Structure 1
């Protein structure tokens, strides 16, 4: 029977765990405990379907435990204690059959089964409500017409009040209106006479 075991515990190893370990599909035992390993666990760890023993305790590993760990269907011994893992412990598969909380001790940020620390359920942040463009357009239209109306009323009464109160201005205004009327009348009369003359010439 082929037995594949990797035991590199107590070797002062540092750096991250290589993702290539996920390609060792026949690996049965992996012990990297009591080193100075850091970084996060790769999602590829879930490819070790025949892994029975996984010991990563007493390192500087961090991050969230990958959900693919529930794919380790042959796992019967797990030790992730004294690292810096945080977040919710994956639930399901063989992990559900390992109810010993000491597996995760020393990771203050972990929560969920089998720990007594429950994960806080936070509601997703609601995106800021977008302004209703249609309401804004209606409001702008109302303000536009309202300002026009107020401007017209103010201007009308300002001119009318001045004409009522000032006799000289009133006379000057009516003379100006008469002058404009006379000019318009002359222009219209001349144009009408020209058009009539053209029509008479065309009929001849």
Structure 2
């Protein structure tokens, strides 16, 4: 037996249900409805958005059906909700963050669906015990208490900082490499010349002779220039 989830018309206070091809309508004071239990009815379709307008609702059990779609975005409007059971369905998408604003919620079960993303956080949600079993059977959900961990902003920042550090390290290594090449080239040239002078006496004597000749030439040039400048000053 397959039924569709009841259609709620909050504006008229009407609940319409199709079962075995027969449509039934129920009229009541929906704002005063405190408990809805439609579990184990093989219901299909989406959860009606109007269901979240029943402000006095304290218990909602839609477990063990074939419901699909997502949780209504304004589920947080059920401020009086104490118990919420959506387990054993085919619901998907992310869990609305405003569900953490239902401070009266003390029992909930969303296990064995196709929810995805990060589980909303909040003082009320974190205070509830046995959180792992509440979200079991949702392989695409992530949380600290689930096998799949969420990537936090801090992790992303650390990763970005790590990448920046790696880039800086690479630049530093390249600079050190180029400096080493220059230093090794200078050392090779310097010790190549010095080594030749140390090991070869003729080259050493010729080098120092040329060095002395250069010094004498420079000394003579400077002395002549100074004498000429002094003579010019005396003539004035």
TM-score bracket, normalised by the shorter chain, equals 0.5 to 0.7
Answer yes or no: is the 8 Å Cα contact 1:91–1:113 preserved in 2. no
The Cα offsets for residues 14-40 of structure 1, whole Å up to 9 and x where unpaired, read as 000001011001000000000000001
Q: Distance in 2 between matches of 1:24 and 1:46?
A: 11
In the TM superposition, what is the alpha-carbon distance from 1:115 to its structure 2 partner? 2.5
Match for residue 84 of structure 1 among 114, 126, 138? 114
In the TM superposition, what is the alpha-carbon distance from 1:116 to its structure 2 partner? 4.5
Residue correspondences, number: 124
The Cα offsets for residues 100-124 of structure 1, whole Å up to 9 and x where unpaired, read as 1100000000111442531024759
Unaligned runs of 5+ in 2: 1-31, 158-236
Give the alignment's TM-score, normalised by structure 1: 0.57
Which residue of the partner structure matches residue 71 of structure 1?
Answer: 101
Unaligned runs of 5+ in 1: 125-204
Answer yes or no: is the 8 Å Cα contact 1:84–1:108 preserved in 2. yes
Match for residue 4 of structure 1 among 17, 30, 34? 34
SS of residue in 1 equivalent to 2:52? helix
By relative contact order (CA 8 Å, sep 6+), the higher-ranking structure is 1
What pairs with 1:1-204 in structure 2 (closer than 5 Å)?
A: 4-100=34-130, 101-121=132-152, 123=156
Answer yes or no: is the 8 Å Cα contact 1:84–1:109 preserved in 2. yes
Answer yes or no: is the 8 Å Cα contact 1:7–1:31 preserved in 2. yes
SS of residue in 1 equivalent to 2:87? coil
Q: Distance in 2 between matches of 1:51 and 1:93?
A: 16
Q: Distance in 1 between matches of 2:144 and 2:67?
A: 25
Answer yes or no: is the 8 Å Cα contact 1:72–1:93 preserved in 2. no
In the TM superposition, what is the alpha-carbon distance from 1:93 to its structure 2 partner? 3.3
Q: Distance in 1 between matches of 2:129 and 2:142?
A: 13
Using a 3 Å threshold, how does the CA distance of structure 1 residues 58 and 33 change in structure 2: closer, same or farther? same
Over the aligned positions, Cα root-mean-square deviation in angstroms equals: 2.0
Give the alignment's TM-score, normalised by structure 2: 0.49
Which residue of the partner structure matches residue 20 of structure 2?
Answer: none
Where in structure 1 do 4 or more consecutive aligned residues deviate above 6 Å? Answer: none
In the TM superposition, what is the alpha-carbon distance from 1:83 to its structure 2 partner? 0.1
